[in-house]
Chain A
Amino acid sequence: MDDLTVINTYLKYQAGTCFRILYDRYAAKIFSKAYTMLGDEKRAEDATQEIFTKIFLNLRKFNGKSKFSTWVYSVTYNFCIDLIRKNKKKKNLFADELENPPDLKNEEVPDEDLLRMEVRKLKEVLRRLNDRDRSILLMKYQDEMSIRDIAGIIGKKESAVKMQLKRAKEKAKRIHDELPNVD
Chain B
Amino acid sequence: MNSFKELENDQIRLFAEARHKRVYDRVYGSLGSLRFISSIIEMYVPVMADTVVSLTGGSSLFPQENVEEESTDSNGDIQRPPSGPALPDDDETDIPRIN
> Which B residues lie at the A interface, using CB under 8 A?
2-8, 10-12, 14-16, 19-20, 22-24, 26-28, 30-31, 34-35
Contacts and interface: CB of A to CB of B under 8 A. Distances in A.
Interface stretch (A83-91, A93-101, A116-124): A116-124
Given A35-B14, A142-B7, A115 B19 contact: no
Given A52-B27, A53-B31, A56-B27, A141 B12 contact: no
Contacts, number: 80
B14 A41 contact: yes
Contacts of B12: 28-29, 31-32
Nearest to B11: A32
A142 B12 CA distance: 13
Nearest to B31: A56
Given A56-B31, A142-B8, A49 B26 contact: yes
7 contacts: A28-B11, A36-B7, A52-B27, A53-B27, A53-B30, A57-B31, A117-B3
Interface in A41-95: 41, 45, 48-49, 52-53, 56-57
For B3, B12, B23, B26, the residue with the greatest tally of chain A CB atoms inside 10 Å of its CB is B3
Given A45-B19, A49-B23, A56-B31, A122 B11 contact: no
For B7, B19, B35, the residue with the greatest tally of chain A CB atoms inside 10 Å of its CB is B7
